[in-house]
Amino acid sequence: MKKGLMLVVSGPAGSGKGTVNAMLLEREDFAFSVSATTRAPRPGEVDGVNYHYITREEFLSRIDSGDMLEYTEYCGNFYGTPLREAEEVMQSGKNLILEIEVEGARNVKAKYPDAVLVLLLPPSYSEQEARLRGRGTETEDKILLRLARAKEEVALADCYDYVVYNFDGKARDAADQILSIVEAEKLSIRRNPDVAKNYLNA
Ligand code: 5GP
From 101, 121, 137, 143, give the residue whose CB has the most ligand 1 atoms within 8 Å, as the site to mutate.
Answer: 101
Judge if the beta carbon of residue 38 lies within 6 A of ligand 1: no
pLDDT tens digits, residue range 157-192?
Answer: 999 999 999 999 999 999 999 999 999 999 999 999
- Check if the beta carbon of residue 98 is closer than 8 Å to that of residue 33: yes
What are the residue ranges in the chain where pLDDT is below 70? Answer: none
How remote is the CA of residue 190 from the centroid of ligand 1, in Å?
29
Eight-class DSSP state of 190: G
State the pLDDT at residue 173: 98
Judge if the beta carbon of residue 104 lies within 6 A of ligand 1: yes
Count of domains observed in the chain? 1
In angstroms, what CA-CA distances link 173 with 131, 167, 187? 18, 9, 21
State the pLDDT at residue 177: 98
In angstroms, what CA-CA distances link 202 with 34, 97, 187, 196, 199? 39, 33, 18, 10, 5
In this structure, which residue's CA is closest to atom 17 in ligand 1?
Answer: 100
State the pLDDT at residue 124: 94
What is the DSSP secondary-structure string of 112-127? -TT-EEEEEE-S-HHH
Q: Is residue 88 part of a domain?
A: yes
Q: Is residue 134 part of a domain?
A: yes
> Which of ligand 1's atoms lies nearest the C-alpha of 103?
22
In this structure, which residue's CA is closest to atom 12 in ligand 1?
Answer: 100
From 15, 68, 99, give the residue whose CB has the most ligand 1 atoms within 8 Å, as the site to mutate.
Answer: 99
Judge if the beta carbon of residue 39 lies within 6 A of ligand 1: yes
Q: Is residue 1 part of a domain?
A: no
Range of the domain at 18: 6-201
How remote is the CA of residue 100 from the centroid of ligand 1, in Å?
4
State the pLDDT at residue 153: 86
Judge if the beta carbon of residue 35 lies within 6 A of ligand 1: yes
Q: What is the CATH number of the domain that holds 136?
A: 3.40.50.300
Q: Is residue 161 part of a domain?
A: yes
Q: Is residue 56 part of a domain?
A: yes
Q: What is the pTM of this model?
A: 0.93
Judge if the beta carbon of residue 102 lies within 6 A of ligand 1: no
Judge if the beta carbon of residue 153 lies within 6 A of ligand 1: no
Judge if the beta carbon of residue 78 lies within 6 A of ligand 1: no
Say how far apart CA 31 and CA 36 lie, in whole Å.
16
